[in-house]
Amino acid sequence: MNTVEKSPVTELVETTGHAGSEWLSRYSSSLMGVFGTPQRVLVRGSGCLVWDADGKEYLDLLGGIAVNALGHAHPFVTSVIASQLSTLGHVSNFFTSPTQIALAEKLLALADAPAGSKVFFTNSGTEANEAAFKLARRNTGGSNTKRTKIIALEGAFHGRTMGALALTSKEAYRTPFEPLPGGVEHIPFGDIEALKDAVDETVAAVFLEPIQGEAGVRPLSPEYLRAARELTARVGALLILDEVQTGIGRTGKWFASEEAGIVPDAITLAKGLGGGFPIGALVTMGEQTSSLLSAGQHGTTFGGNPVATAAALATLHAIESQNVLANATAVGEHLRSALAALPGVTEVRGAGLLIGFDLDADVAPAVVQAALDAGFIINSPGPRTIRLAPPLVLTTAQADSFLAAFPAILQTAKDAQ
Ligand SMILES: *Cc1c(COP(=O)(O)O)cnc(C)c1O
């Protein structure tokens, strides 16, 4: 099943009849090498399945890294995007559009945001965190003294642009690009005492991922999140939650931080928000935080574009109307408990359909390769860690097909070492 319906796209680029190897050689001659060699050339998707240029089918257990919340080519999301694009595709931010306003209202309602809360739209996760970084720079905790210190955690990933990179902890990402914006201090992950020592009246903001995704799906405990809320509130520092990966139903809840029962000062979103269409957001809670950035202090050309905001509205609507959060919770629990019972799996972490598990040997990259050969797309954020972030519409039967195949995949990877 490698046939693609004739579409205007296939008149521009013939997507069939060329082997994956041919595309990859054209790729390496024309695309910057920052991503290494792509694993496959994908030409088509439907639900949780994708097909490559050689006609091979895969169960997508990564969902474009937690992006394709509703799988591929979701009919409702697709038709809403097409209809918005053919009505009004783009306006500058000198103007607004109904979808932009409706999406902001919807996000504030889903986040249970207090009166005076506001939204700023971006095109990506890193841009949402850049906006949050600037927000933090404007926070004085109600005093007249500027605060420049920001606290983030060891293992944090907040993006690749300079401000978000300053918040990111991995040396290999940071060092080649120094100097980065200053004032960011990384403290040990999940250590409440370290947080107590770090948070004082000089701190503008604390940035946390409720579950660190890139670090291998490492959850902060509800106690830690509550302590962070209390400590930041006490000194007038902002608590900014990066829910770029964990938000929009990924954990079976709209926001991962719901679990801890806290209201942060700001939330950043992206990945799953547009159901595959690029869009991000900074949500600021309450009047005071929402007015830290005044007219002219931030902006974007594409952010909040009518098509992107329509895509996100459609995604949120489909998640609600198709009972997707309950599915993510149920299938996620099933996957986690079954994975924990598999030989060779030493630890399983995560919530909903953001799952990380550790292996008993440093074979994770080889496991990813063997899984691809067996028709499954997964990811290894560490040498012995596997991450799953499938579409939230994954069925139990699809999860079971991976569970059944996994022992042989692991064995193949170990034999290949
Ligand atoms: C992916 C991710 C980002 C960066 O998002 P981009 O859209 O790639 O810029 C930021 N924070 C977290 C937690 C992420 O998972």
Catalytic residues: 157, 242, 271
121: Cα separation from own chain's centroid: 15
State whether 215 and 157 are in the same domain.
yes
Write down which residue in 257, 292, 321 finishes a domain: 321
State whether 355 and 244 are in the same domain.
no
Residue 4 within any structural domain of the chain: no
Per-residue model confidence (pLDDT) at position 2: 45
* Helix ranges, 117-170 (H): 125-137, 162-167
Q: What is the mean pLDDT of residues 187-206?
A: 98
DSSP secondary structure letter of residue 47: B
Q: What is the mean pLDDT of residues 182-186?
A: 97
Q: Which atom number of ligand 1 is nearest to the Cα of residue 127?
A: 9
Residue 4 pLDDT exceeds 60: no
Query: For all residues of the chain together, what is the average pLDDT?
Result: 96
Kindly give, in sequence order, each residue whose CB lies less than 8 Å from that of residue 140, ignoring residues fewer than 6 positions away.
Answer: 146, 147, 204, 236
Beta carbon of 210 within 6 Å of any ligand 1 atom: no
**% residues pLDDT > 70 (the chain):** 99
Q: Which atom number of ligand 1 is nearest to the Cα of residue 271?
A: 7
State whether 212 and 315 are in the same domain.
yes
Residue 46 pLDDT exceeds 80: yes
State whether 384 and 328 are in the same domain.
yes
Q: Which atom number of ligand 1 is nearest to the Cα of residue 213?
A: 15
Q: Which of 67, 158, 250 to mutate to test the pocket of ligand 1 (most atoms within 8 A of CB)?
A: 158
Beta carbon of 199 within 6 Å of any ligand 1 atom: no
Query: What residues are paired with 218 via a beta bridge?
Result: 212
Beta carbon of 218 within 6 Å of any ligand 1 atom: no
- Report CA(167)–ligand 1 centroid distance (Å): 12
Residue 229 pLDDT exceeds 70: yes
State whether 332 and 348 are in the same domain.
yes
Please report where in the chains the tokens 């009972």 appear, as a residue: 323
State whether 312 and 176 are in the same domain.
yes
Signed CA dihedral, 197, 117, 112, 392: sign only: negative
Beta carbon of 252 within 6 Å of any ligand 1 atom: no
Per-residue model confidence (pLDDT) at position 10: 85
- Structurally, the chain folds into a number of domains equal to 2
Residue 307 pLDDT exceeds 50: yes
Dmax over CA atoms of the chain, in Å, equals 65
The answer to whether residues 251 and 219 touch, using CB atoms and an 8 Å cutoff, is no
Per-residue model confidence (pLDDT) at position 7: 78
- Report CA(138)–ligand 1 centroid distance (Å): 23
Residue with CA closest to ligand 1 atom 11:
158
Query: What residues are paired with 207 via a beta bridge?
Result: 240
Residue 409 within any structural domain of the chain: yes
- Report CA(119)–ligand 1 centroid distance (Å): 18
Write down which residue in 286, 321, 356 finishes a domain: 321
Residue 289 pLDDT exceeds 60: yes
Per-residue model confidence (pLDDT) at position 34: 96
Q: Which of 245, 246, 269, 273 to mutate to test the pocket of ligand 1 (most atoms within 8 A of CB)?
A: 245
What is the domain range of residue 369? 10-68+323-416
Per-residue model confidence (pLDDT) at position 325: 98
Per-residue model confidence (pLDDT) at position 5: 58
State whether 335 and 391 are in the same domain.
yes
Per-residue model confidence (pLDDT) at position 125: 98
State whether 94 and 163 are in the same domain.
yes
Tell if the pTM clears 0.75, that is, is over it. Answer: yes
CATH number for the domain harbouring residue 411: 3.90.1150.10
Per-residue pLDDT of 370-411, as tens digits, reads 999 999 999 999 999 999 999 999 999 999 999 999 999 999
Beta carbon of 125 within 6 Å of any ligand 1 atom: yes
CA-CA-CA-CA torsion for 312, 315, 317, 320, nearest 10 degrees?
A: -130
Query: What is the pLDDT confidence band of residue 48, given thresholds at 50, 70 and 90?
Result: very high
CATH number for the domain harbouring residue 140: 3.40.640.10
Residue 369 within any structural domain of the chain: yes
Residue 109 within any structural domain of the chain: yes
Residue 352 pLDDT exceeds 50: yes
State whether 265 and 205 are in the same domain.
yes
State whether 94 and 173 are in the same domain.
yes
Residue 366 within any structural domain of the chain: yes
Q: What is the mean pLDDT of residues 193-199?
A: 98
Give the angle 97-66-416 at the CA atoms, nearest 5°. 155
Q: Which atom number of ligand 1 is nearest to the Cα of residue 278?
A: 7
State whether 27 and 43 are in the same domain.
yes
Residue 5 within any structural domain of the chain: no
Residue 146 pLDDT exceeds 50: yes
Give the angle 61-64-67 at the CA atoms, nearest 5°. 105
State whether 316 and 339 are in the same domain.
no
Write down which residue in 321, 339, 366 finishes a domain: 321
- Report CA(157)–ligand 1 centroid distance (Å): 7
Query: What is the pLDDT confidence band of residue 366, given thresholds at 50, 70 and 90?
Result: very high
Per-residue pLDDT of 235-283, as tens digits, reads 999 999 999 999 999 999 999 999 999 999 999 999 999 999 999 999 9
Residue 91 within any structural domain of the chain: yes
Residue 380 within any structural domain of the chain: yes
